[in-house]
Amino acid sequence: MRTLSLGWAFCALLLAVFAAPCALARPLEIFFIDVEGGQSTLIVSPSGQSLLIDTGWRGFEGRDADRIVAAAKAAKVKQIDYLLITHYHRDHVGGVPQLADRMKIVNFLDHGPNTEDSKATKEDYSDYVKAIQRGEHMVVKPGDTVPIKGLSVRVLTAAGDHIPVPLPGAGQPNSYCATTPQRDTDPTENAQSVGVLVTFEKFRFLDMGDLTWNKELALMCPNNPIGTVDVLLVSHHGLNQSNSPALVDAVHPRVAIMNNGARKGGSPDAWQIVKDSPGLEDLWQLHYAVAGAKEHNVPDSFIANVDEQDAGQYIKLTAEGNGSFTVWNQRNKFEKVYKASGK
């Protein structure tokens, strides 16, 4: 019995020494949840902490909140540690009260008070203000970081402002500014969007919410303060009010993911800018875009929902610290592996 006990003790010691580091070597997971042309992106750190960016629409019998809960269950997430609201349009903030009824939300982050004088936006903001009483609340500013263990989450834009100095290693002249003209000023909440860069060791993911064209230029010109990224969440659901070459081409994404709906987003001209971005390997879409027809949609393998009346399938990205990552389509189980770029 003594020999057996020592043997088990030795095995336990080996497990403690060797298995524990393996258990810590978890990847970064990102779930691009289908909220029918809104945004809801669930980011799960290797530490297990969660960041949810936006909550989709209100109403629809809690459809979007239920889809977020289902994705959280798949990610083994029991609460939302940080909920970041990019801006106060209904397709981004509308689902907050319904989600708060279904899951605990610990921290609420946003750009500050609503700036738009429209009935729907004021109504949704009012409901959001009531919901944040359930947790801690913080207004974020450009340059702030969200304290998630295992990740760097840097705020690049918020409340119409942007980071004043480039990130380390960035700041080179942006050649795409010269061919990207200004447009009319956008007075809506879109221009107030919180944009973030999420970094996991060598992997970089960029989400600028619905930041519109002129604000993209203000951030990216004359010098590129971000550098390049591995994955870009296509801004504003692929609408042409956003996605200027000064942003899309300058950050050189290897992969772009478009959170469009069947009849919202995926504008053919914006789609083409993203598809033609230098160095882009693949574009993935949450929906087949009806307005784009065959010429402005990717092959079905890369689309999570090919029918207008869909089941709310998501796209999942799994990233390793060396910069390699895999993108997986819930609908057809198609996946593609992207090796570390070596940059």
Q: Which domains does the chain have, with CATH numbers?
A: 28-338 (3.60.15.10)
Q: Report pTM.
A: 0.92
Hey, what are 212's tokens?
């519109």
Per DSSP, what are the bridge partners of residue 136?
Answer: 107
Residues 237 and 235: their CA atoms lie apart, in Å, by: 6
Closest CA relative to residue 55, chosen from 76, 37, 39, 77: 39
3-state secondary structure of 67: helix
Dihedral sign for Cα 66, 32, 85, 323, please. positive
Q: What is the CB neighbour count within 10 angstroms for residue 17?
A: 9
According to the model, what pLDDT value does residue 311 have?
Answer: 86
> Which residues neighbour 56 within 8 Å (Cβ) at sequence distance 6 or greater?
33, 35, 36, 38, 39, 40, 64, 65, 67, 68, 91, 92, 94, 95
DSSP string, 119-155: HHHHHHHHHHHHHGGGSEEEE--TT-EE--TT-EEEE
According to the model, what pLDDT value does residue 310 have?
Answer: 82
Q: Tens-digit pLDDT profile for the chain (343 aa)?
A: 333 343 444 444 444 544 444 445 799 999 999 999 999 999 999 999 999 999 999 999 999 999 999 999 999 999 999 999 999 999 999 999 999 999 999 999 999 999 999 999 999 999 999 999 999 999 999 999 999 999 999 999 999 999 999 999 999 999 999 999 999 999 999 999 999 999 999 999 999 999 999 999 999 999 999 999 999 999 999 999 999 999 999 999 999 999 999 999 999 999 999 999 999 999 999 999 999 999 999 999 999 999 988 889 999 999 999 999 999 999 999 999 999 986 6
Residue 110 sits at the vertex; the CA angle it makes with 108 and 116, to the nearest 5 degrees, is 130
Residues 69 and 232: their CA atoms lie apart, in Å, by: 24
3-state secondary structure of 110: strand
According to the model, what pLDDT value does residue 180 have?
Answer: 97
Residue 279 sits at the vertex; the CA angle it makes with 277 and 281, to the nearest 5 degrees, is 95
According to the model, what pLDDT value does residue 1 have?
Answer: 33
Task: Tell me if 174 sits within 8 A of 224, measured CB to CB.
Answer: yes
Burial (CB count <10 Å: 0-12, 13-18, 19+), residue 234: buried
